[in-house]
Amino acid sequence: MSPALSSPRRLLALAVVLVVALAGTGCGRNSAGPAEDGTTTLRFAWWGNEKRAAATEQALRAFEAANPGIKVIGESTEFSAYFDKLATGVAAGDAPDVFTLGGAYPAEYAGRGALLDLGTVSGSLDLAALDESARQNGQVQGIQYGVSTGANALAIVANPAVFKAAGVDLPDDTTWTWDDYAALATKITENSPKGSYGTATPLTHDSLDAYARQRGESLYTADGKLGLTEQTVNSFFDFSLRLMKQQAAPPASITVEEEGASTEQTLMGRGQAGMMLAWSNSIATLSTATGSELKLLRLPGETPTPGIWLQSSQYYAISAKTKQADAAAKLIDFLVGDEQAGTVLLTDRGVPANPKIRAAIAPQLEPAGQAEVSYIDGIGKIDFAPTFIGPVGSTKVAEITTRVSTDVLFERITPAEAAKQWLTESQSAIAG
């Protein structure tokens, strides 16, 4: 689900570790209360590289300056070890006061009583300024357990240079349909050198939810069930196959190769595609790779029913065992709502969900970053249906979609057969 995480297989494996570790929750210690001098010490854990660590530490020092009497100890860990370490700490009753989560982890942790209900600290944590979708992203069964660190959204990344070379105009992305998308992509392929395509990919798992939402359905429901019909899944696979067969998208063999490629090495990154269905935060990397000023277009088929949503890159959460919940809440409030923190963290954990912070950081960003902020700002104004964190097992569903889609593209099974298979396997995955 979250673009900030690595492969679904890695996330699923770590979720299993978490399930086992949390079984022992109930003993151990957590951060102590205020010291004799009245100072409250918080532990804040996150994953990431040295650049993220440096920016985060700078934001933490700014928080301390604005909140005398609260000290924050930062704990940065590489992604590969982060969730194992966090699960161990939670199981021992020694979790950090505040920590970052991603993907299906909020539902996993909340379901085992490891996260604080943030409604209990609303006096110190004001989420009113955040985009509604961002608030909903952090909810599990209606309870606010996480706060979005920043957002991404699905988009069509377009290369105007490829469009121009093919003699094709950029679409009006406020009105275009999926049929328009297919026609444009086909025309670009026909008018481009061999090996270049109108779209770099057929439909992907990430777009399945949007495809369903445009039809009044959803990938998952509030209670963690599948929320789409067999007809919608059939249509999804059928359209993906159509893109390939009319050469709007590359053949199945290339699509499979592209799955393991880095962003820079995709057809879009190599300048061999007019469009690519991707997350909005990929525009900076793709722009650098192509040496072109790329554009972010809204998904086709967004009228009359929008399928788009704001996807949280990560979440800030508070341990249910913390002894200083209000101080922890103040820290999160500062990280997502203070301009000083925003201008330090920028878009490292996604485009801020607070419009005021988006406006504050925009002048500091490169053109690609500004394009991303502008895109997210526009998406944040759309009145769309609520989104729900995927249930336990949802990471495996992404793998099922990819595998079944591959069989469709190689024409081993029909879209109708694929829809039945997908529903059966996905239901089994989330049922545990």
The arithmetic mean of pLDDT across residues 380-406, rounded, is 87
pLDDT given for residue 79 in this prediction: 87
What is the per-residue pLDDT across 228-276, written as a single tens digit (0 to 9) for each? 999 999 999 999 999 999 999 999 999 998 887 888 899 999 999 999 9
Do 120 and 72 reside in the same domain of the chain? yes
Do 123 and 258 reside in the same domain of the chain? no
CA dihedral 215, 219, 221, 225 (to 10 degrees): 130
More confident residue, 16 or 57: 57
pLDDT given for residue 1 in this prediction: 37
* 375: pLDDT strictly greater than 60: yes
* 286: pLDDT strictly greater than 70: yes
More confident residue, 407 or 281: 407
- The Cα–Cα gap between 324 and 121 comes to 10
Do 89 and 181 reside in the same domain of the chain? no
Per-residue pLDDT band for 426 (boundaries 50, 70, 90) equals: very high
Do 358 and 293 reside in the same domain of the chain? no
* Mean of pLDDT over the chain: 89
CA 349 to chain centre: 10
Q: Is residue 3 part of a domain?
A: no
pLDDT given for residue 11 in this prediction: 45
pLDDT given for residue 281 in this prediction: 87
Do 32 and 128 reside in the same domain of the chain? yes
Look up the CATH number of the domain holding residue 124: 3.40.190.10
Q: Which of 343, 358, 379 is the last residue of a domain?
A: 379
Q: Is residue 2 part of a domain?
A: no
> CB under 8 Å to 372, separation ≥6 — which residues?
280, 281, 283, 284, 296, 347, 351, 365
- The Cα–Cα gap between 301 and 305 comes to 8
pLDDT given for residue 36 in this prediction: 61
- The Cα–Cα gap between 24 and 315 comes to 24
What is the per-residue pLDDT across 188-226, written as a single tens digit (0 to 9) for each? 999 999 999 999 999 989 899 999 999 999 999 988 899
What letter represents residue 267's amino acid?
L
Phi/psi for 339 (5° steps) reads -65, -35
The arithmetic mean of pLDDT across residues 74-86, rounded, is 93
More confident residue, 32 or 145: 145
Q: Is residue 384 part of a domain?
A: no
> CB under 8 Å to 314, separation ≥6 — which residues?
2, 4, 100, 101, 102, 148, 149, 150, 349, 350
> CB under 8 Å to 65, separation ≥6 — which residues?
none
Structural domain boundaries enclosing 422: 154-309+389-431
- Burial call 259-283: b when 16+ CB within 10 Å, e when fewer: eeeebeebbbbbbbbbbbbbbbbbb
* 31: pLDDT strictly greater than 80: no
Do 159 and 239 reside in the same domain of the chain? yes
Per-residue pLDDT band for 20 (boundaries 50, 70, 90) equals: very low
Do 112 and 143 reside in the same domain of the chain? yes
Q: What percent of the chain has pLDDT over 70?
A: 91
The arithmetic mean of pLDDT across residues 369-386, rounded, is 89
Do 263 and 210 reside in the same domain of the chain? yes
CA 85 to chain centre: 22
On whether the CB atoms of residues 197 and 248 are closer than 8 A, the answer is yes
The arithmetic mean of pLDDT across residues 123-138, rounded, is 91
The arithmetic mean of pLDDT across residues 404-421, rounded, is 98
